[in-house]
Amino acid sequence: MTKPDLIYTTYIKTTPEKLWAAITNPEFTRQYWGGHANISDWKKGSAWQHEDMSDGKAVRVAGEVVECVPPKRLALTWARPGDTADVSRVTFEIEAFADVVCLTVVHGSFAPGSEMAGQVAKGWPLVLSSLKTFLETGVAIDIWTVKAPCNAPKGEAA
Asked, for residue 155, whether it belongs to a domain, the answer is no
Asked, for residue 154, whether it belongs to a domain, the answer is no
Asked, for residue 134, whether it belongs to a domain, the answer is yes
pLDDT at position 158 over 60: no
Asked, for residue 124, whether it belongs to a domain, the answer is yes
When divided into structural domains, the chain yields a total of: 1
Percent of the chain whose pLDDT exceeds 70: 91
What is the CATH number for 77? Answer: 3.30.530.20
Task: Report how far residue 142's alpha carbon sits from residue 31's, in angstroms, rounded to the nearest whole number.
Answer: 9
Asked, for residue 79, whether it belongs to a domain, the answer is yes
- Sequence-ordered list of residues with C-beta below 8 angstroms from that of 138, at least 6 positions apart, any chain: none
State the Cα angle at 104 between 101 and 106, rounded to 5°. Answer: 165
- pLDDT of 15: 98
The answer to whether the predicted template modeling score (pTM) of the entire model surpasses 0.85 is yes
- pLDDT of 57: 85
- Confidence band (pLDDT; 50, 70, 90) for 55? confident
Cβ–Cβ contacts within 10 Å for residue 99, how many? 8
- pLDDT of 147: 60
Asked, for residue 40, whether it belongs to a domain, the answer is yes
Asked, for residue 84, whether it belongs to a domain, the answer is yes
Amino acid at 22: A
Each residue of 56-93: pLDDT tens digit? 889 999 999 999 999 999 999 999 998 888 999 999 99
Asked, for residue 27, whether it belongs to a domain, the answer is yes
Q: Which domain holds residue 113?
A: 6-145
Strand partners, 51: 37, 59
